[in-house]
Chain A
């Protein structure tokens, strides 16, 4: 028999129940919300593609991030992305795309055409769903002990030697088997706790941009150093969440896309028992 086995022999695997219904449902609602929030958020960013630090910031203030054209009067302007002293030519993607001066390209914004009014409306609708969904996730998993049981790193896990071993194992793509595979490793735990913290920051910096909410909670302005700082942090957090999602999706493919995606749909996750190794 020369056939390459498509799956491991059954004797070597065990099915565990990994994700509760609440985790699975909120995960997929989150996927929809975050996608639309990102695309509409980039539409909103395009209306004023500059970022400042402090309470105020407009065209006459110093922007430390900007995405625009080198000279809009030129027949064929170049797209330039500036971060601090760095200026990078990004024609075709950022600054200038499809012959149009716009920070983010049409294929990354909702709606595709320039439409701040509609972008805002979609952003705020999805923000409501996102926040309610997030609260369901947080409250239910605080009550049922999921955070404490599955996401909080154990004392053993945060020892430097252990963290280092997990990093090395991870780089070698050595996936845990048996009992170890039933729990998240410390890198997974830190990534998930980290992204939850980012999402909370995302909501709070978003609220700080609302003049109504600022009147109600002026402490938000102290917390983030001003409305324009909050806008900048909102953008930085969005970038970090995108980075998380990229890593997350790549990891899903490395670990086995059918098992991983399947477990987030059915809750059941197949692990190697380690008997055959």
Chain B
């Protein structure tokens, strides 16, 4: 009597055990520092490909007023509690001013009235959270590009960093950064209004960044200062943003 070398049942059991081991192994491997480092190259590949394809600077889709979400989910910080920010809210942002500093010819300081008096762009766009949901709203504000032209970038300028007033409970202030490719895109604005109303505290008053074509965590709220720099290594955790320092991609076009 010759028994089969491997019975089918043995194969199924063996397969399941091997599968379980593989899953456990995958899980450990998936979080190994070397693997995570390797995954950074994937982000470069995705960003490189999208930048190549988006070289013509197409606009993100703009929607009709009837498409606007009835309730736009406020996310991330929705009610910053620092004494300085609370004082600004009490003053209706009267004493507040946005600063433009760093690698510029002329540092600027603009109060809310001055920002609101600038030529503005209004766009009804979709906001995509990294978690997976989307909401649509209308945003109005001056183009970031106009502000940067007014301050005059120095030749070594590469990134625009947004310094925010909220800390998401972790103690370190929120910040974000984009490069010049996105900074000068016509839909990249500093929104002071949402759906025709002054931007509410829950949505980032007095101004928030809109960098359409990227995910929600890039849309910095409570922007206090715009800083022009040549590298991101010396800011925060060195990866270019609050969530980037916590493992998320700097390029959030996907």
| Chain A residues proximal to chain B, CB less than 8 Å | 3, 6, 36, 39, 44-45, 47-48, 50, 52, 55-61, 107, 110-112, 115-118, 120-122, 124-125, 128, 209-216, 218, 221, 227-228, 231, 253, 257
Contact = CB atoms under 8 A, between A and B. Distances in A.
Say whether chain B's binding surface is mostly helix, strand, loop, or mixed. loop
Contacts of A55: 63, 67, 126, 134, 136
A58 B129 CA distance: 9
Nearest to B58: A215
Given A124-B43, A215-B59, A228-B134, 15 more contacts: A47-B132, A55-B63, A55-B136, A56-B67, A56-B136, A58-B135, A60-B70, A61-B69, A107-B23, A121-B39, A128-B46, A211-B60, A211-B253, A213-B50, A228-B133
A117 B244 CA distance: 9
B58 A231 contact: no
B234 interface: no
A84 B206 CA distance: 40
A227 B61 CA distance: 11
Nearest to B49: A128
B254 interface: yes
B24 to A, nearest CB: 8
Interface in B38-67: 39, 42-43, 45-46, 50, 53-54, 58-61, 63, 67
Nearest to A210: B254
B166 interface: no
B152 interface: no
Nearest to A107: B23
Given A3-B2, A110-B26, A210-B254, A59 B133 contact: yes
Interface in B199-254: 212-215, 243, 246-249, 253-254
B136 to A, nearest CB: 5
A118 B1 contact: no
A11 to B, nearest CB: 19
Contact of B60 (A39, A44, A120, A215): A215
Contacts of A60: 69-71, 73
Contact of B247 (A61, A115, A215, A216): A115
B115 to A, nearest CB: 25
B41 to A, nearest CB: 9
Interface centre among A56, A59, A218 (most CB of B within 10 A): A56
Nearest to B11: A257
A115 to B, nearest CB: 7
A58 B69 contact: yes
A45 B8 contact: no
Nearest to A3: B1
B31 A120 contact: no
A39 B39 CA distance: 16
A182 to B, nearest CB: 26
Given A56-B126, A124-B46, A212-B254, A111 B132 contact: no
14 contacts: A47-B132, A56-B135, A58-B134, A61-B69, A111-B27, A120-B130, A121-B39, A121-B43, A121-B247, A124-B42, A210-B253, A212-B253, A213-B254, A228-B133
A120 B8 CA distance: 37
B30 interface: yes
A48 B131 contact: yes
A211 B133 contact: no
A110 B130 contact: no
B128 interface: yes
A194 B30 CA distance: 31
B110 to A, nearest CB: 28
Interface centre among A44, A55, A221 (most CB of B within 10 A): A55
Interface in B73-108: 73
B36 interface: yes
Given A58-B69, A110-B27, A215 B130 contact: no
A3 B72 CA distance: 73
B128 A227 contact: yes
A125 B214 contact: no
A48 B249 contact: no
A59 B42 CA distance: 31
Nearest to B71: A60
A221 B61 contact: yes
Contacts of A117: 243, 246-249
A23 to B, nearest CB: 22
B4 interface: yes
B50 A121 contact: no
Nearest to B62: A218
